A and B are shown apart, each in its own frame.
Chain A
Amino acid sequence: MIERTVQLLIDDDGLTLEELSSACAVSFEWIERHVESGMLDVAAAGTMRFTSVQLLRARRLAEIERTFEANDELAALVVDLIEEVEKLRGRRRP
């Protein structure tokens, strides 16, 4: 059986603070702390909305922090490196 369902491309209007918190299983405070310290960007200055890229980044940050009990800065450094590797791998042909 094939179901039909409501689908949204996230970047059409971005995720709210509540939605990002639920999607990454993190608290509002966690998100606010990471935005304030510049480890996580928002879709547009002055808003608390998040794009696909930021969703993926937030999930990675939270996951590295949990798995390795890493502090925020170290997790951000690891995620920066993961993003860089991903970019370089994308430029190389398979």
Chain B
Amino acid sequence: MEFKDYYATLGVEKTATAGDIKKAFRRLARKYHPDVSKEPDAAERMSAINEANTVLSDPEKRAAYDALGRRPPGQDFRPPPDWDAGFEFSGDESAPGQDEFSDFFANLFGRAARARRGADAASMRGGDHHAKVMIDLADAYHGATRAVTLRSARLDTQGHVVTEERTLDVTIPQGVRSGQHIRLRGQGAPGYGGGPAGDLYLEIEFRPDERYVVDGRDVTQRVPVAPWEAALGASIEVPTPSGPVEVTVPANSRSGRRLRLRGRGIPGAPPGDLYLELDLVLPPADTEAARELYRAMERETKFNPRQATERSR
């Protein structure tokens, strides 16, 4: 397993006081809070910060960790036998997320360490895990099956943690909304001492798609239209998440006009609505003929788009 430099993770010196560590942890927790941060790897960073803080903010764990000495981060590492003799870690197994910490943590302070010390006599249910699944909006319309790959830790016969990947087939039900959770019984952390495994909660999130804005079961879809379609009215075919639909664009439509298609949002009881938002797209003036058409419109229509604003001055 890889050696983890917890001081470097928190950006503090080895001589840092408990106050320094707390300050550094909170500053980084603000920066990498997954709900707020725009950093792409915020969730992983947050987990690493939590792990470092769990060790360094606990005087017993910190003393035992310091006794290992310092090594280059990432170096392959095996703890010396009985490295933790003389240290008594108070159990804070209730702190969430520990099942998702690194192998390094698990072997030194986590379940592997407790198992070796024989502290796991009592049977206990494994922790619940949480993960996100990104799906396309179309999956909510039709339902889908997604293979979800999870990394999970297991104890080998020597009591060391080994990480293994497993793939679960997850059924995404039709009508699912962003923010809903699917619960998979027994797919969380394994139990201790014969206790049952925890559950896995998968949070559904729609993959960002610039064509759609989703609010509950209602979907707004942007539909590009040509100026003559908006001005004269037209019958156009629109590819919607539930299939192509023939839509009438009323004459004299402005850009941003919303047309409601009742019941064509995300399926459910009742289903949501689909709003088509007209997006006026101008043909490029990239040929002499096109430029002449624009000039003719300018001459013939005497159109002033700022008339209303000029009047109000």
Contacts and interface: CB of A to CB of B under 8 A. Distances in A.
Interface stretch (B77-85, B172-180, B230-238, B252-260): B172-180
B96 A24 contact: yes
A3 B128 contact: no
Given A8-B183, A25-B94, A25-B127, A68 B35 contact: no
A74 interface: no
A77 interface: no
Contacts of B130: 23, 59
Q: How large is the interface on B (under 10, 10 to 19, 20 to 34, 35 or more residues)?
A: 35 or more
5 contacts: A7-B184, A67-B33, A68-B26, A82-B35, A94-B208
Nearest to B97: A25
Contacts of B125: 22
Contacts of A35: none
B308 interface: no
A23 B198 CA distance: 9
A56 B35 CA distance: 11
A6 B166 contact: no
Contact of B167 (A3, A60, A85, A86): A3
Contacts of A91: 213, 215
B225 interface: no
B185 A5 contact: yes
Interface string A7-51: 111110000000100111100000000000000000000000000
A3 B213 contact: no
Contact of A6 (B29, B184, B198): B184
Contact of B29 (A2, A8, A25, A68): A68
B182 A10 contact: yes
A55 B181 contact: yes
B128 A53 contact: no
Given A9-B180, A10-B183, A23 B166 contact: no
Interface of B: 25-26, 29, 33, 35-36, 94-96, 125, 127-128, 130, 147, 166-171, 173, 176, 178-187, 198-199, 201, 203, 208-210, 213-215, 222
Interface of A: 1-11, 19, 22-25, 52-53, 55-56, 59-60, 62-63, 66-68, 82, 85-86, 90-94
A9 B166 contact: no
Given A19-B199, A52-B181, A68-B29, 20 more contacts: A3-B169, A8-B183, A9-B181, A10-B181, A11-B181, A22-B128, A23-B128, A25-B95, A25-B128, A52-B203, A56-B179, A56-B181, A56-B203, A62-B96, A67-B29, A85-B35, A85-B36, A86-B35, A91-B215, A93-B213
A60 B35 contact: yes
A2 B36 contact: no
B129 to A, nearest CB: 9
B209 A94 contact: yes
A7 B26 contact: no
Contacts of A92: 213
Given A86-B35, A90-B214, A7 B181 contact: no
Nearest to B147: A2
A8 B199 CA distance: 11
A62 B209 CA distance: 31
A19 B26 CA distance: 29
> Which 6 pairs across A and B sit closest by C-beta, in order of nearness?
A25-B96, A94-B208, A52-B181, A52-B180, A10-B181, A82-B35
Nearest to B211: A93
Contact of B182 (A3, A8, A25): A8
